[in-house]
Amino acid sequence: MTDPQKTSGIESISSGLYDVNSGDPRSELVDRSGMAPEDVHQITRLMNALSGLRNKEKVLAEASEKYMQLNNQDMRALHFLIVANHRAEVVTPGMLGTHLEMSPASITKLLNRLEKAGHIIRKVHPVDRRAFSIEVTDETRASAMETVGRKQAKRFQAAARLSREERQVVIDFLEDMARELTLDGEDWATEK
């Protein structure tokens, strides 16, 4: 589980990137020209809030993995299967492999492990009788929904407390930030 002291350390490190008076040479990466110190402080608080959210998400993920005795990849697979089930979609091993960016051999190992642990069942595909579909067992679905699902649902409530206009501001901000973080055209990020 994530150490709260490390979390606060991460926040203080990230705040140094934005703080006007940090004295940290890395803070030169951020252009603060023409900005009032109050604006820089508020932006720092915003960045720290995002960091805090990521840390809470990590702690939640680690706790749910421990509770369900699964690794991150297994949890991602179960999440995909549960969401597909809610949409009444049939999932094949190939679809799951594409989603998780895993080879067919690795997906087979993952499915064998999940099936042996009683988390999934394989059925004959309803349309293509040569293939099979994958479903989460009722027990695993109930366990996931009662633990991590119930916690994740609280995010919806936080968003519901905002007005439509406030939600649009948050959506625009997060989408803009995601665009700024794209690795397109970054030579250092390409595989060698």
Q: What is the pLDDT of residues 58-75, one digit of tens each?
A: 998 888 888 888 888 999
Whether residue 82 sits in one domain with residue 26: no
Asked whether residue 153 is domain-assigned, the answer is no
Residues 52/11, Cβ–Cβ less than 8 Å:
yes
**Which residues constitute the domain of residue 30?**
1-68
Asked whether residue 18 is domain-assigned, the answer is yes
Whether residue 56 sits in one domain with residue 119: no
Whether the predicted pLDDT of 138 surpasses 50: yes
The last residue of one of the domains, among 68, 88, 118, is 68
Whether residue 4 sits in one domain with residue 49: yes
What CATH number is given to the structural domain containing 85?
A: 1.10.10.10
Asked whether residue 174 is domain-assigned, the answer is no
What are the residues whose beta carbons fall under 8 Å from the beta carbon of 43, sequence distance 6 or more? 18
Report the share of the chain in percent with pLDDT over 70: 84
Q: Indicate the pTM of the whole model.
A: 0.66
The last residue of one of the domains, among 68, 98, 125, is 68
What pLDDT does 21 receive?
53
Query: Cα 104 from chain centroid?
Result: 24
Q: Rounded to whole angstroms, how far apart are CA atoms 18 and 39?
A: 10
What total of structural domains would you count in the chain?
2
Whether residue 101 sits in one domain with residue 51: no
Q: What is the pLDDT of residues 85-102, one digit of tens each?
A: 989 999 999 999 999 999
The last residue of one of the domains, among 32, 51, 68, is 68
Q: What is the pLDDT of residues 5-40, one digit of tens each?
A: 444 444 444 445 555 455 555 557 788 888 999 999
Query: Cα 58 from chain centroid?
Result: 8
pLDDT band with cut points at 50, 70 and 90 for residue 2:
very low
